[in-house]
Structure formats: structure tokens, C-alpha cells
Amino acid sequence: MTTIGAPLRRKEGLAKVTGRAVYLDDITRPGLLWGRTVRADVPGGRLERIDFAPGPPWDEIVVVTARDIPGRNVVPLIADDQPCLVARDIQHREEPVVLLAHADRQVLARAVAAIRLVVTPAPAVLSLAAATDVLSELTLERGDLAAGLAGADLVVDGTYETGAQEHLYIEPQAMLAEVGEDGALTVWGSLQCPYYVRPAVATVLGLPEDRVRVIQTTTGGGFGGKEEYPSMIACHAALLAVKARRPVKIVYERGEDMRATTKRHPSRTRHRVGVSRDGRLLALETEFVLDGGAYLTLSPVVLSRGVIHAPGPYRWPNLRIRGRVMRTSYPPHGAFRGFGAPQAIFALEVHLDRVARALGIDPVELRRRNLLRPGDVMATGQPVEPGVDPLAVLDRALDASGFAARRAACDASNTGVSAVKRGVGLATFFHGAGFTGAGESKLASEAALRLGADGRVEILASSAEIGQGAATTHAQIVSEALSVPYEMVSPAVVDTAVVPNSGPTVASRTVMVVGGLLAQAAREMVDRLRAQAGLPRPHTPADFAVAARAYTDAHGPLLTRARYSAPAGWQWDERTLTGEAYAAYAWACYVAEVAVDTRTGETEVTDFVAVQDVGRVVNPVTARGQVHGGVCQGLGFALYEDVVWQEGGMANARMTNYIVPTSADTPPIAVVFCQGEASPSKGLGELPMDGTAPAVVNALNAALGAEIARIPALPERVLQATLPA
């Protein structure tokens, strides 16, 4: 049975194309109230008093403030620094202060408007330049930087900036909480990490964790935006439900979602590269700074991923990467597909094109001379995996995109009088899959399978299907490992009362790590059926059904489980960032072609080719979909998606003026997998976010002979970059 590699239809696909899939806002409960959040609306200060202006029927409205919190007033994450509701100190504009619930949303809207917060303002930190409080810092060093720079024929400096990026999942954040007759809480929600939500709600309500049950509803996109913030909303819904003794639903309006929830960390990267005349990279000195916003959230882990990815897939005999996350008065930035790597890779790949121009050599040739090769060691000291050949990925991309001919055609076209200039650019990069360093060992994820009398196998894992294909790829992995048809395997609803903690649905770990655990649980199931139910070797699906019946008749349902443990001999030093940083890396080379109108600054991406080695592809349709979607989000990151800040808040929190790519902006994207059939599957979800923006900006710079170093490359920035110095 070879299920892996087959273009099988997604498990929940039919429900989605017919409109039958049930998202959180489609659910109602008897006696349901709606919840709303009143926010600080000033970037810093001290809350003195909350006034309730007359008008709304206050006796009918459920009101929750920090004083109503029965447990600890904190949304626990890496540090317990972020309150669930403001008690006194306001650290950013979107901090929640008061929660309200009522059955009628119009009454609720009037109540929100009638609340006045009396605040003594405090100074706010509204730029990276003004930030002095370091939330987190890390350094990665190798070789002798000073000697490397001193021995270089040429030293090239550059500074690169990336803006905040909003996830803009099309289903806004949404949670529903209900208290059962026994006082236990059930929370339904749109989320990626049920086992982040459960301890958060338990902490805030002062309940043992087993009194909180979290159930994922069909989730309309996440991209990291539903990693940590849903815990906050779940706590709010739960507080209201407990006080009201009625179920409470909170669905963010689009504007509130865009203003209040996390975004990609803005970044500023300064590179200094020493290179020999013949194009050998000798030294890299990097200062990588992220804007963390007002609380720590996941910033230290975003930073470590950014720092580890900053050198890119190249041989650097000498380097020093210094990374910092600064505290500012913006709403905390958080997880977003790529998690620090897109910012770092953007800076390096655009800088390498600058180095190539300074040297007068072809940027392809510069990469070819310096890419890691089999047997090489990365900056962290981790060797390049056997079977991987980054040069082959580059060559495949040059070939698939017809790079040389394309570039010649652009050059020829640009000699004409047309105001539209064309350019082609590329980026070579990698992305480490799974949690960084010892993260997976600390998580010690669990996953399980349950075999019923009918021979059907249920997947018990907390991996949330958020559109990426978790349900489908997991079923394919299990089906193949058990040699049973795909239709006989299905995932259980992600419900903390049913599934074990398989870790969060993040970090490109769902296929590689959790899928690996499921394959292990499947092998154990086969062994048990061989030993105890006469399953022959090899077996047919019919044999499996007979053995399933025999086993369950005698013993009841068969449950097999697996728990993660790191391969023997793995080392990781989280202080120096040395050792086995990731279980595996995916390798890629992306090629973009653009046409830019030098009169308007408008850029059109006319063609895009994405080539990658992600090991064995589990489902070519969902895998291609991950690349298509990641590239499209990368086009937005590169060209359109501009968060405009005003007094610490997002001024353009609407889909009318926060522009994401539409079909009119997105050409068909060509995807190539250089797949090793024999190699294990590696993480894929985040990879496409990393290389798209630098490929596009390198194409733009090639078209214009410009030095665009800041994204999004809005038309006005493009025009500015083309002005004579």
C-alpha cells in the first residue's frame, strides 16, 4: 500500500467546498451571550478608574475587570509577564481592560462606547531607535571575525528593514466558553495549539487543568496568528462565561483582530560581509534586531531561529551574528510563518546580491561558490545532512526557470525606451524544521492510534488542521505504515479530552515530528496485531480487518502510542547556539521575475518558480498548496503589506487599506520538489515564506539597478530608490 506520495483528497475537503464545514461562528448554544473587549486605547499609562456612562442597560450587561479574575492575572507563555486584563499598568494601546457580555450585539456595542477609562498617561517607546530595554539577546560565533574581515579584499556593508506583517487569516479569531453543571469549563475555538489554551484558562480561572476542556473547531487559517493569541481570548470568554453562568462567544471584528492580535516582528539587520576578489565569502558580521512589542511572548524563540538562519546556507569560515529583541510600546509581536527566519533571510539574500554587484560577479556564481556542500558544517556546528545537495537545488531552479535566457531577455528589453523595466532575481535558502535545539525533547510530544472492531483507525493527536493538510497527511502516513486504505484512517476531533499533547501545530513540525510519532505508533499496532491477533506478514487490508476484529473481540479497542525522544548523541547549547539546531533542514531556491513601471513605481510579479528539497513529499497537492500559499504571502510581505503605525496602534486596520495579494496580483506559481523518495519527510510549511521576498526584491533591484533594502517595496519606495543619489 503506497499511500504516501499520492494526491489524495483532503479529509475535510467535501465539507469545505459545500459550505458544510462548521467554524466557531457557525456554532450557537442555548442562552448564548456575545462578548466584547474594551481596550486601553493609549500606548502607555496607569489606569486610575473605569467609568460607566449612563445609557446602556448596565444591570443586564455582564462586566468583567481584573478584579474578577479568580486565578492569576496572566496569560502564561515563556514568561508570565502579560496580564489577561489590565489591573493598573498599561503597556500598549490594545491591552484589554474590561470585558462585556450581552445577548444583543447592538446593546453590547453601545456599552463598549459608554465605558470611559481614566488613565494617567506615561511615555511610550514608539520606535526601535528609541528602545533601550532588551527583552532577549543571543550571539552565534564561528572562527575569527576580525581576522576574516582583515583578510578580505572587499568589505560590503548594508542595512535592511522589514515591516510588521498581519496574518490576515480570513476567519477572524473566535472562541466560545461554557461552564458545565459540574463547574468544569469547555472552550471551543479557532486555534493551533489546544495545549497552550488549556493551561492558560486553568491559570486564569484558578482551576486544575483537567477541569478545562479545549476543542478545536474548523479553523479558517492560522499562519502562527492562532498560536499564542487564542489563549488570551479563551481566557476572556471563560471569565465572562463564569461570571454570567451562560455560554459566551467572542468573535473579533476584522479591525479589532488586525489592531490587537500579534504580527510578524519588524526587523532591522546590519550586515558587513568580507569577501575575496574571486567571490569567496570570508566573514559575516551581523546585527539582527527585532521589535518585540510590549511583552516577551515568543520573542526569544523567534530570535534564536532568526539568528540561526541569518548566515543562510553558505560556508562562512568566520562569523558573528548578534541578535536582540527590544521592548517597545506596540502590541506584542508574535509567531508568524517563518518565525524570525524570513526577516533574516531577506536581509542576507538581498545583501549577497549587493556583494555580487560590488565584486562585479554574477549573483548566481557568488552563491554557487559559497553554498554548503555535503560534508560541510553549518555555523551552529551541525553537519549538512547526508543526501542533501544545495548546489543541485540551485541548478534545478536555474534550469526550471530558464534563468539565463530569462535574464538575457530582461536585459534586452531594458535597453529599449519602455518605462517598464524587467528583472529576474533569486534567493537560495534553508529552513530548519521542528522546534529549535532541545525544544522537541522538552516538549516530549505524544501521539496515539486507536483501532476499533470495524478495522477503522483513529488518529489521536493535537495537531490542528488549519488548512495546511495535517488531517490528510497524517492519515496518509498512518495508512501507509499500517498497509490499510486511506479511507480507513481518520483523525479524531482535536479535543483535549480525547487527544494527547502532541505539541503545538507550529514550526513545520506536524508531518516531520508528529507524523513520525504516528508512524511509530502504527508500527507498534502492526506488531501487536501480529503477536496477538494472527496478522500475517505481509498482510492485505482484508487480513488487517480480520485481525482487528479478532483483537478487539478479545481485548477491546487497541490503543498504541509513541512519545518523542531525541536521537542518541544529539547535543544543543542554547547559550552559544551550537549543536544540532534542527532535526532536518529543507533547502530551496526561488526565482522571481518582475516588471516594474518606472513612472508609477508599481511592480508586477510576472513569473515565479519555487524549487525545494523537502525530502519525501507525503501529498503532492497539499505540499504544492503550502508552497503556493507561502509564496503568495511572501509576495505580500515583499510588495504590499504595510502596517501603518500611529500612536502605537495600527492605523490601517482594514482590508481596504492593508493590502494583501489578490488573484489579480498573483501569477500561477510553478513548484518543483527535488524529492528524495528514500529520504524522510522534512518540514515544509514555513520554508516558502523565507525566500520569496528576497527573490522579488533582487529581481526589482536587477530591473532598476537600484538598492531597495526595505520591505514592503511600496511604489513610493520603489520610486525613491530610482531617484539619482
Residue 692 one-letter amino acid: T
Among 631, 650, 687, 696, binds other proteins (CB under 8 A): 631
Please give the residues from 137 up to 196 whose contact with other proteins meets the rule CB under 8 A. Answer: 167-172
Among 413, 532, 666, 722, binds other proteins (CB under 8 A): 666
Among 2, 132, 415, 656, binds other proteins (CB under 8 A): 656
Is residue 567 helix, strand or coil? coil
651 scored as a contact of other proteins (CB under 8 A): no
Strand partners, 177: 187, 248
User: Could you tell me if 325 and 300 are in contact, meaning their C-beta atoms sit under 8 angstroms apart?
Assistant: yes
How many residues sit close enough to other proteins to count as binding (CB under 8 A)?
Answer: 57
Q: Closest Cα partner for 385 from 553, 654, 547, 613?
A: 613
Q: Quickly count: other Cβ atoms within 10 Å of residue 184's Cβ.
A: 15
Among 323, 469, 648, 694, binds other proteins (CB under 8 A): 469
Cα separation, 29 vs 226, whole angstroms: 23
State the residue for C-alpha cell 505540499.
623
Applying CB under 8 A, which part among 21-29, 64-72, 531-539, 578-586 lies near other proteins? 21-29
Applying CB under 8 A, which part among 78-86, 264-272, 618-626, 638-646 lies near other proteins? 618-626
The secondary structure element, H or E, covering residue 427 is: strand 420-433
CA atoms within 13 A on the CB side of 174: 23
Phi first, then psi, for residue 695 (nearest 5°) are -60, -40
Q: Quickly count: other Cβ atoms within 10 Å of residue 506's Cβ.
A: 26
23 scored as a contact of other proteins (CB under 8 A): yes
253 scored as a contact of other proteins (CB under 8 A): yes
CB of 8 to other proteins, least distance (A): 10
CB of 133 to other proteins, least distance (A): 33
Q: Quickly count: other Cβ atoms within 10 Å of residue 367's Cβ.
A: 25
Q: Which three cell numbers stand for residue 135?
A: 527583552
Cis peptide before 230 (omega within 30 of 0): no
Among 165, 436, 463, 468, binds other proteins (CB under 8 A): 468
Among 72, 211, 254, 561, binds other proteins (CB under 8 A): 254
Q: Which three cell numbers stand for residue 176?
A: 466560545
CB of 390 to other proteins, least distance (A): 24
Cα separation, 283 vs 306, whole angstroms: 18
CA 434 to chain centre: 12
CB of 164 to other proteins, least distance (A): 16
The secondary structure element, H or E, covering residue 484 is: none
In terms of DSSP bridges, do strands 185-189 and 212-216 run parallel, antiparallel, or are they unpaired? Answer: parallel
219 scored as a contact of other proteins (CB under 8 A): yes
129 scored as a contact of other proteins (CB under 8 A): no
Among 424, 526, 643, 669, binds other proteins (CB under 8 A): 669
Cα separation, 109 vs 124, whole angstroms: 29
17 scored as a contact of other proteins (CB under 8 A): yes
Q: Quickly count: other Cβ atoms within 10 Å of residue 542's Cβ.
A: 9
Among 162, 218, 269, 343, binds other proteins (CB under 8 A): 218
* Beta carbon nearer to other proteins, 414 or 666: 666
Among 37, 633, 652, 698, binds other proteins (CB under 8 A): 633
CB of 671 to other proteins, least distance (A): 8
Among 467, 504, 615, 694, binds other proteins (CB under 8 A): 467
668 scored as a contact of other proteins (CB under 8 A): yes
CB of 602 to other proteins, least distance (A): 16
CB of 655 to other proteins, least distance (A): 4
Applying CB under 8 A, which part among 53-61, 483-491, 656-664, 702-710 lies near other proteins? 656-664
Among 625, 676, 680, 715, binds other proteins (CB under 8 A): 625
State the residue for C-alpha cell 541578535.
323
15 scored as a contact of other proteins (CB under 8 A): yes
10 scored as a contact of other proteins (CB under 8 A): yes
Cα separation, 409 vs 191, whole angstroms: 47
14 scored as a contact of other proteins (CB under 8 A): yes
* Beta carbon nearer to other proteins, 281 or 653: 653
* Beta carbon nearer to other proteins, 62 or 669: 669
CA atoms within 13 A on the CB side of 108: 20
467-505 burial code (b ≥16 CB/10 A, e <16): bbbbbbbbbbbbbbbbbbebebbbbbebbbeebbbbbbb
CB of 672 to other proteins, least distance (A): 13
Burial class for 368, CB neighbours closer than 10 Å (0-12, 13-18, 19+): middle
Applying CB under 8 A, which part among 361-369, 538-546, 620-628, 678-686 lies near other proteins? 620-628
Applying CB under 8 A, which part among 72-80, 109-117, 394-402, 660-668 lies near other proteins? 660-668
Applying CB under 8 A, which part among 407-415, 437-445, 652-660, 696-704 lies near other proteins? 652-660
217 scored as a contact of other proteins (CB under 8 A): no
CB of 224 to other proteins, least distance (A): 12
134 scored as a contact of other proteins (CB under 8 A): no
Among 628, 682, 710, 717, binds other proteins (CB under 8 A): 628
CB of 637 to other proteins, least distance (A): 12
What is the tally of helices (H) and strands (E) in the chain? 18, 28
CA 182 to chain centre: 37
Q: Which three cell numbers stand for residue 197?
A: 489554551
User: Could you tell me if 631 and 668 are in contact, meaning their C-beta atoms sit under 8 angstroms apart?
Assistant: no
DSSP designation for 23:
B
377 scored as a contact of other proteins (CB under 8 A): no
Phi first, then psi, for residue 653 (nearest 5°) are -85, 55
Among 284, 341, 393, 632, binds other proteins (CB under 8 A): 632
Among 244, 448, 466, 591, binds other proteins (CB under 8 A): 466
* Beta carbon nearer to other proteins, 132 or 656: 656
Cα separation, 469 vs 461, whole angstroms: 14
Applying CB under 8 A, which part among 416-424, 431-439, 463-471, 499-507 lies near other proteins? 463-471
Q: Which three cell numbers stand for residue 272?
A: 558587513
* Beta carbon nearer to other proteins, 13 or 199: 13
Cα separation, 109 vs 119, whole angstroms: 22
CB of 635 to other proteins, least distance (A): 8
* Beta carbon nearer to other proteins, 242 or 669: 669
User: Could you tell me if 436 and 581 are in contact, meaning their C-beta atoms sit under 8 angstroms apart?
Assistant: yes
CA 249 to chain centre: 26
End-to-end CA distance of the chain: 64
Q: Which residues here bind other proteins, judged by CB under 8 A?
A: 7, 9-10, 12-23, 25-26, 167-172, 218-223, 253-254, 466-469, 621-622, 624-625, 627-633, 654-656, 660-664, 666, 668-669
